[in-house]
A and B are shown apart, each in its own frame.
Chain A
Amino acid sequence: MPKDNGIGASPKRREDVRFLTGAGNYTDDINVNGQAHVHFLRADVAHAAINSIDTSAAETMPGVVKIFTGADFAEVGGIPCGWGVTDRHGNPQQEPRHPIIAHDTIRHVGEIVAAVVADTLEQARDAAEAIELSLSDKPAVVSMGAALAEDATKVHEDLTSNLCYDWVFGNPDDDAVQAAFDSAAHVTTLELVNNRLVANPMEPRVAIGDYSRATDEHTLYTTSQNPHVIRLLMCAFVLGLPEHKVRVIAPDVGGGFGSKIFHYAEEAFCTFAAKACGRAVKWTSTRAEAFISDAHGRDHVTKIELALDADNNFTALRTNTMANMGAYLSTFSTSVPSYLHGTLMAGNYKTPIVQVNVKTVFTNTVPVDAYRGAGRPEATFQLERVIDKAARELGADPIALRRQNFITEFPYETPVALTYDTGDYVATMDKLEQVADVAGFAARRAESEKNGKLRGFGINCYIEACGIAPSNIVGMLGARAGLYDAATVRVNATGSISVMVGAHSHGQGHETSFPQVVADMIGIDESMVDIVHGDTGRVPFGMGTYGSRSIAVCGSAMVRATEKIINKAKKIAAHLMEASDADIELKDGQFTVAGTDKSVAWGDVCLTAYVPHNYPLEELEPGLEETAFYDPANFTYPAGAYACEVEVDPDTGKVSIERFSAADDFGNIINPMIVDGQVHGGLGQGIGQALLENAAYDEDGQLLSASFMDYAMPRADDVPFYQVDHSCQTPCTHNPLGVKGCGEAGAIGSPPAVVNAVIDALQSGGKDVTHIDMPLSPARVWAAMNG
């Protein structure tokens, strides 16, 4: 029987009432009295020296408050990178200065060259057109291969080259790895591109800076996934402000997908400019600006080699990847192709030798950073594609080949640093075969062929490391921040509860699922519990939402804080019932004394805590509020198996996804409906990457797909009705809820299934096609079919 409340139930999302009825409070809905508007003059060339910027005519234009250029920011810091990677020789990554406004050089189309603050946005735009720029164009460095050439133009003159770092992970012994390949019975090699993507959340970024002369306090309203992180980075590294004078508020946020993790120049600008102008300063990104200023995702070029013995056991894996950083290092950019990618290269398989080589490269393009999955999709895609190719070359069944090489014993220490605590890849594959109706595929293929279509079936497995975590480990790997989270449970006098959480909800449904946990622990109705999030002025601390970490890390902190509340409440109850606190039990919101009929209700205990007339004041403080910080002992390891069935129109190359099935192991689940939704959304984005989305640059560094006219987002009719199953559950062994996280799985696990299915379809039609780079647009599929 499905539960109707508490952990495991699927109450409808309470936040949807305001989202669906137009009552949401997004950053752009906020208007501060007396605010001015900023328009950013952005570079329309990819690489140029700035000779001069003449703002004199613009400054006389109507409504102009102040015009800022790079010189105004000479005294403040640059935007910091949050992760320092050490290269194969023990050297630190090359880390260029990342200015708020370009100072002497433009390094990508979209970079801010000047900022005009005016009474109205239209006045600011008018004035920006009157700014005279004198530029000397430089050659644009666009392709990574060209960027690494000996004589390449440098994106940053003060660096030694365009190489950010050259990193090796896993087994660093080239000879030993080569020996494994030399002795292999079969080696499969695949070269592929993981296409650059633009996150495109429905809500573009917005920032409003406000400053109080009375209190010397700054307020930044921003579209962020982690307001405390923004406050820390902006205060400590960019503007040099004390944190207690800065409040960052991220109200309702309309999707992030990673792109709103990072600290952006516009946030620091609006905070800085509000004080400089003596007025609040507001910026709302247009969609056109978003394409050239939001951090992009993916953009890897990889060669992967898989060695197998005569019995088809995987014996070694070696990868060589170039990963694009763009022109500057965005907040978590350097961690994505290294520790969020290399650590996952073992996948679900017991390959004994794994070597991961990654070169990260500066180019004159928009900075690249985490996008839903962040490194793990790139790892999964290449691994699951090369396994599929190996199966074809060997004439092996792709499911059987995977099963044969599955890790089956846990905990399992991989050759790439992680220790998987738990999992059951056989069970998820069994479930997938059932959900995907593998047995019925032959009949479905025959039916498609009758209609002149090629039908293909593709599967893949995935594993991800979520709940990032633990601070001491990530610190050793170069993280410049802790990765715990925090929660404060504030019980009010009448028993209702506000939980201040460090995680930010921007589509994940925390406002529904988090109260389910607290209400379940106490045994009260969920309507008595609300969460508070997205405001450094109301939430004590937090590290925010990314990496499928909210329930696993912040949820654990919330559980710990709630446990403290319950322990204290039991002491109060024991006092009221004149019993020992060891004998107090809490069930359904009633405290009882074991073995007696004595009881006191939750509400009475709460009231006593705040009206302590009959209270052990000498032993216990009044009030009922507790905070917990939780630093996880390990990552969590959601895993699963996905299957995609496609039809390919041989006349046009058009791919249509007919079925998509997912069998996920997310450990314990708080709200199955929300988990379904998270998987659906992730699958949509993964299918988008596989079939549609492509941030393509021309050789001059102009983004060709800089609007929805050319950048293809997945729409409802591009995706099928999904079969999603998460009944396989191996609970996480090291967090109190046994949860693993589910936000990124769909985006990580779906692209290889789609591509594997298309290759299967083409091969069934007699086409000798072994790989097509994403997106598998009709034109690309047709070209592959027609050699």
Chain B
Amino acid sequence: MYEFEFEKPSTVAEAVAALADEDAQALGGGQTLIPTLKQRLAMPSKLVSLSSIPQLKELSDNGGMLTIGGAVTHAEVAAAAADSYPALADLASHIGDPAVRNRGTIGGSLANNDPAACYPAAALGSGATIVTSTREITADDYFRGLFETALNEGEIITAVRFPVPEKANYQKFLQPASRFALVGVFVAKYAAGVRVAVTGASEEGVFRWHEAEAALDTSFAPDALDGLSVDAGGMIGDMHGTKEYRAHLVGVMTKRAVAAAG
């Protein structure tokens, strides 16, 4: 890696100040950023670690609203949400491997917005609110395409608020090599309606499958999805699966998620 300055602030305000420098880069758990640096694919002037800010490590369950600090690790979410939001806990417990889950953070994952990451599906599928150092952003407004989000330069995810659904499930079909989601579908049933969020599949990143949501609003059962499919046109095609295959898997994984949500 190239040389860089390193700061480890203890408050959000200090972190925001540290990030004001040109080419400064926030460091969450480093599970994407550190390998990128090692390969010399990024050259930040300064890394600002978010791992020692107590506020970002907070986790609260406020009767139907789960709030997770931006620096909470996947392993911590898997443990803390097991009772309150089991589908989210299950998703967190299957990200990467134990090393990744004990370092990687929810804020880091959402800020990076890898098109094959799991958390974007949970956030969008839950209609979560992304709380930042300056504002609150709804998940529907937050995700803007591959590795693109509504975050401004130097804006830090301080917490994510998940409304807990009546039922939910996440089904991930693994890309055989990376074990990221080749296609992952998060289905959540709320009083206000069903949300279906798909990761891994689209050239535009995580997206909501509105047709499926409408069908499941009418009947929350796998066969409600019969005959529905996403357009293969916008899907990712690569050595691990064609556009058509990914489009097909979206249907299969959505049905499985509905069945598993019960």
A residues within 8 Å of B by Cβ? 122, 125, 288, 651-654, 691-692, 694, 696, 704-705, 708-713, 777-779, 782-783
- What total of A-B pairs shows CB separation below 8 Å? 45
Q: Please report the total number of B residues contacting A with Cβ < 8 Å.
A: 16
Asked if residues B252 and A692 are in contact (CB atoms below 8 Å), the reply is no
Q: A125-B40, A704-B239, A778-B241 are in contact. Are A709 and B177 (CB under 8 A)?
A: yes
Is B190's CB within 8 Å of the partner chain A? no
Tell me which residues from 151 to 196 in chain B have a Cβ below 8 Å from any Cβ of chain A: 173, 176-178, 182
Q: Which residue of A288, A692, A696 contacts B239 across the interface (Cβ within 8 Å)?
A: A696
- Contact digits for B4-16, partner A, Cβ 8 Å, 1 yes 0 no: 0000000000000
Asked if residues A779 and B173 are in contact (CB atoms below 8 Å), the reply is no
**Closest B residue to A708 using CB positions:** B177
Asked if residues B173 and A711 are in contact (CB atoms below 8 Å), the reply is no
* Secondary structure call for the A interface: loop
Asked if residues B239 and A712 are in contact (CB atoms below 8 Å), the reply is no
Q: How far is the CB of A36 from chain B (nearest CB, A)?
A: 20
Asked if residues A779 and B242 are in contact (CB atoms below 8 Å), the reply is yes
CB-CB under 8 A from A653, the residues of chain B are: 245
CB-CB under 8 A from B249, the residues of chain A are: 652
Is B62's CB within 8 Å of the partner chain A? no
CB-CB under 8 A from B178, the residues of chain A are: 708-710
**6 CB-based A-B contacts, threshold 8 Å:** A125-B40, A654-B173, A712-B176, A712-B177, A778-B176, A778-B241
Question: In the assembly, what is the distance between CA of A782 and CA of B176, in Å?
Answer: 14
Q: A288-B39, A651-B252 are in contact. Are A779 and B177 (CB under 8 A)?
A: no
**Closest B residue to A777 using CB positions:** B176
Question: In the assembly, what is the distance between CA of A550 and CA of B175, in Å?
Answer: 38
Is B94's CB within 8 Å of the partner chain A? no
Residue of B177, B242, B249 contacting most chain A CB atoms (<10 Å): B177
Q: How far is the CB of B23 from chain A (nearest CB, A)?
A: 18
Asked if residues A779 and B240 are in contact (CB atoms below 8 Å), the reply is yes
Q: Which 10 pairs, one residue from A and one from B, show the smallest C-beta to C-beta distance?
A: A712-B177, A779-B241, A712-B176, A709-B178, A779-B245, A651-B252, A710-B177, A704-B239, A696-B239, A692-B176
Q: How far is the CB of A287 from chain B (nearest CB, A)?
A: 10
**Closest B residue to A654 using CB positions:** B173
CB-CB under 8 A from A713, the residues of chain B are: 177
Q: How far is the CB of A448 from chain B (nearest CB, A)?
A: 18
CB-CB under 8 A from A122, the residues of chain B are: 1
Question: In the assembly, what is the distance between CA of A591 and CA of B248, in Å?
Answer: 76
Question: In the assembly, what is the distance between CA of A691 and CA of B39, in Å?
Answer: 29
Tell me which residues from 29 to 54 in chain B have a Cβ below 8 Å from any Cβ of chain A: 39-40
Asked if residues B176 and A705 are in contact (CB atoms below 8 Å), the reply is no
Question: In the assembly, what is the distance between CA of A783 and CA of B232, in Å?
Answer: 14
Q: A651-B252, A779-B240 are in contact. List 14 more A-B contacts (CB 8 A).
A: A125-B40, A652-B249, A652-B252, A653-B245, A692-B176, A694-B239, A696-B239, A704-B239, A705-B239, A708-B178, A710-B240, A778-B173, A779-B242, A783-B242
Question: In the assembly, what is the distance between CA of A122 and CA of B248, in Å?
Answer: 46
Question: In the assembly, what is the distance between CA of A653 and CA of B176, in Å?
Answer: 12
Q: How far is the CB of B42 from chain A (nearest CB, A)?
A: 14
**Closest B residue to A129 using CB positions:** B40
Q: Which residue of B173, B177, B239, B242 contacts A652 across the interface (Cβ within 8 Å)?
A: B173
CB-CB under 8 A from B248, the residues of chain A are: 782
Residue of A122, A651, A653, A696 contacting most chain B CB atoms (<10 Å): A651
CB-CB under 8 A from B239, the residues of chain A are: 694, 696, 704-705, 710
Q: How far is the CB of B173 from chain A (nearest CB, A)?
A: 6
Q: How far is the CB of A120 from chain B (nearest CB, A)?
A: 12
Q: How far is the CB of A273 from chain B (nearest CB, A)?
A: 23
Q: How far is the CB of A623 from chain B (nearest CB, A)?
A: 54
CB-CB under 8 A from A125, the residues of chain B are: 40
Asked if residues A777 and B240 are in contact (CB atoms below 8 Å), the reply is yes
- Contact digits for B227-255, partner A, Cβ 8 Å, 1 yes 0 no: 00000000000011110010011001000
CB-CB under 8 A from B182, the residues of chain A are: 778
**Closest A residue to B173 using CB positions:** A652
Question: In the assembly, what is the distance between CA of A418 and CA of B118, in Å?
Answer: 55
Question: In the assembly, what is the distance between CA of A652 and CA of B241, in Å?
Answer: 11
**Closest A residue to B1 using CB positions:** A122
CB-CB under 8 A from B176, the residues of chain A are: 691-692, 712, 777-778
Residue of A694, A705, A711, A782 contacting most chain B CB atoms (<10 Å): A782
CB-CB under 8 A from A779, the residues of chain B are: 240-242, 245
CB-CB under 8 A from B252, the residues of chain A are: 651-652
CB-CB under 8 A from B245, the residues of chain A are: 653, 778-779, 782-783
CB-CB under 8 A from B1, the residues of chain A are: 122
Question: In the assembly, what is the distance between CA of A651 and CA of B245, in Å?
Answer: 11
CB-CB under 8 A from A705, the residues of chain B are: 177, 239
CB-CB under 8 A from A712, the residues of chain B are: 176-177
Q: How far is the CB of B147 from chain A (nearest CB, A)?
A: 15
- Contact digits for B63-96, partner A, Cβ 8 Å, 1 yes 0 no: 0000000000000000000000000000000000
CB-CB under 8 A from A777, the residues of chain B are: 176, 240-241
CB-CB under 8 A from A654, the residues of chain B are: 173
Q: How far is the CB of A61 from chain B (nearest CB, A)?
A: 14
CB-CB under 8 A from A696, the residues of chain B are: 239
Asked if residues B40 and A711 are in contact (CB atoms below 8 Å), the reply is no
Asked if residues A711 and B241 are in contact (CB atoms below 8 Å), the reply is no
Question: In the assembly, what is the distance between CA of A653 and CA of B173, in Å?
Answer: 11
**Closest A residue to B38 using CB positions:** A286
Q: How far is the CB of A754 from chain B (nearest CB, A)?
A: 14
Question: In the assembly, what is the distance between CA of A711 and CA of B178, in Å?
Answer: 8
Question: In the assembly, what is the distance between CA of A138 and CA of B254, in Å?
Answer: 47
CB-CB under 8 A from A652, the residues of chain B are: 173, 249, 252
Residue of A288, A653, A705, A710 contacting most chain B CB atoms (<10 Å): A710
Question: In the assembly, what is the distance between CA of A779 and CA of B249, in Å?
Answer: 10
Question: In the assembly, what is the distance between CA of A651 and CA of B173, in Å?
Answer: 12
Q: How far is the CB of A771 from chain B (nearest CB, A)?
A: 19
Q: How far is the CB of A647 from chain B (nearest CB, A)?
A: 16
